[in-house]
Structure 1
Amino acid sequence: MAYTLITANRNYSSWSLRPWVLMTALGIAFEDRIEPFVSMDNYEAFRAFSPSGQVPVLIDGALTVWDSLGIALYLGERHDGVWPTDADARAWAMCAATEMHGGFGALRGERTMTVGQRVTPHATSPRLARDVARLAELWTEGLTRFGGPFLTGERFGAVDAFFAPVVFRVRTYGIDVGAVGAEWVKRMLEQPAMRAWEDAALAETFREEAHEAEVAAVGIVIADHRER
């Protein structure tokens, strides 16, 4: 039985992007089901299919797997290429992915995801500057230690997918992640799976008021490439 992956709006849903781009890039077949955000709090509606009231959710027959990290771990037990085979690279990938999963709060709060817009930020807090510096350090470490072109070597994997939402944020807000990090961001934006997600985001005409207000609160929108 094929997987069903439940995600939300392409423009806003950073957590949904992770398993979607991972499965798409690795050729893991799934039925694509979108449950849009209709407000900032979709808990009650999403509880109909998600134990946590959040997306993403992976349905595998009678089994429900929730949370982007839970999904990546589940898929890693069933499919080659999700995590590196080399023990050192695999340990680094898991540490980096879980650091992204549980950290970088200022980045999330002050640079909310919006794929189709370009924004000039009002300010950069010390906490955000620290997050950005850590991103640049982490990406440079992975790319130099394992030889690139992806974070743990030649193949795109779960750790790249976990930072995929940040790739769009870097472009949206013009974040400086250093020369090595910038080259990886460019490479990621060229990946077919990332381009497919972006195309879908730009095609969305639905606007959720609270998410739009979040973007407006952190900066000046200088371009909007989404369909009207």
Structure 2
Amino acid sequence: MRKFVSGNLNYSSWSIRALLMARHVGLDAEEEIVPLDFPDTTGKLAAISPTRKVPLLIWDDETVWDSLAIIEWLAERYEGVWPDDAKARARARAISAEMHSGFPALRRACPMDIRSRHPAPDLTDDLKSDIARIDRIWADTRAEFGEGGPFLFGDWCAADAVYAPVVTRFISYDLPRSGVAETYMDAVMAHPLVTALAAQAETEPWWIRYTADGRSSGFIPSGNS
């Protein structure tokens, strides 16, 4: 069995990060979506995932979970996952790891929702700090490594896939950003992989609503967007 298991593409930022790179390298694996926050979600994931979470890559007798672990698995087998230059590659891994473990205020205030537009959240000091740091990462990386293309390291790589869900959050919640960040965001959203994924997210039949009291989920009635 060769399968890539993700959550809803509209909401599962961790799934998207690894899935974009799997598609980038042309991984020949069946793609399966397990919708998040439904009564049977945990049970379905428990049957296949040791963490009961997505993303998950099942490749013959290997099972790989966690978005960065899947990306590194791809990097061991395919070219074009990380930058070729050693210094650039180290920076790409560093900023990807920072995204993987950081920015809690952004995650809390701006849940992933590609297809929707929401009012800007209350810009608390913690959220402003996260936004400023992300903007600085994009600006500094583009200035030092971005020659030769519109992405963080010129050509598209795993670091761009890791930050692609952040780009969609900046758009969905109209977060403040610099001109450099805006230009980079435009490039990410115009990438064919991101364009295709956003189109899929738009047509998914599931929804998740985030409220102060928790999350609810359901199906979009037929004929509605």
Distance 1:41 1:174 in 2: 34
Distance 1:74 1:168 in 2: 25
The residue that corresponds to 1:119 in the other structure is 118
The residue that corresponds to 1:98 in the other structure is 97
Distance 2:164 2:112 in 1: 11
Distance 2:168 2:224 in 1: 18
After TM superposition, what 4+ stretches of structure 1 lie above 6 angstroms from structure 2? Answer: none
Distance 1:198 1:102 in 2: 24
Distance 1:180 1:41 in 2: 43
Q: Does the aligned pair in 2 maintain the 1:176–1:182 contact within 8 Å?
A: no
Aligned CA distance change for structure 1 residues 213 and 41 (closer, same or farther; 3 Å): farther
Alignment deviations for residues 52-109 of structure 1 (CA, whole Å, 9 cap, x no partner): 1110001111100000011011111111011111010000000000000000111111
Equivalent position SS for 1:112:
coil
The residue that corresponds to 1:213 in the other structure is 210
* Worse overlay, 21-30 or 47-56: 21-30
Distance 2:194 2:121 in 1: 28
Structure 2 residue runs without a partner (length 5+): 215-222
* Worse overlay, 115-124 or 185-194: 115-124
The residue that corresponds to 2:164 in the other structure is 164
**1:65 equivalent in alignment to 2:41:** no
Distance 2:30 2:87 in 1: 33
Q: Percent identity at matched positions?
A: 35
* Worse overlay, 72-81 or 39-48: 39-48
Equivalent position SS for 1:32:
strand
Equivalent position SS for 1:19:
helix
The residue that corresponds to 1:89 in the other structure is 88
The residue that corresponds to 2:52 in the other structure is 53
Shift of 1:45: 3.3
Shift of 1:44: 4.1
Aligned CA distance change for structure 1 residues 159 and 215 (closer, same or farther; 3 Å): farther
Which AA in structure 1 matches 2:209? E
How many residues in Structure 1 have an aligned counterpart in Structure 2? 215
Distance 2:133 2:210 in 1: 28
Equivalent position SS for 1:213:
strand
Structure 1 residue runs without a partner (length 5+): 218-225
**1:191 equivalent in alignment to 2:188:** no
Distance 2:134 2:30 in 1: 32
Which AA in structure 2 matches 1:205? P
Shift of 1:38: 3.2
Aligned CA distance change for structure 1 residues 29 and 171 (closer, same or farther; 3 Å): same
The residue that corresponds to 1:221 in the other structure is none
Say what the alpha-carbon RMSD is for the aligned residues.
2.1
**1:18 equivalent in alignment to 2:17:** yes
Which AA in structure 1 matches 2:172? T
Aligned CA distance change for structure 1 residues 92 and 151 (closer, same or farther; 3 Å): same
The residue that corresponds to 1:149 in the other structure is 150
Which AA in structure 2 matches 1:213? Y
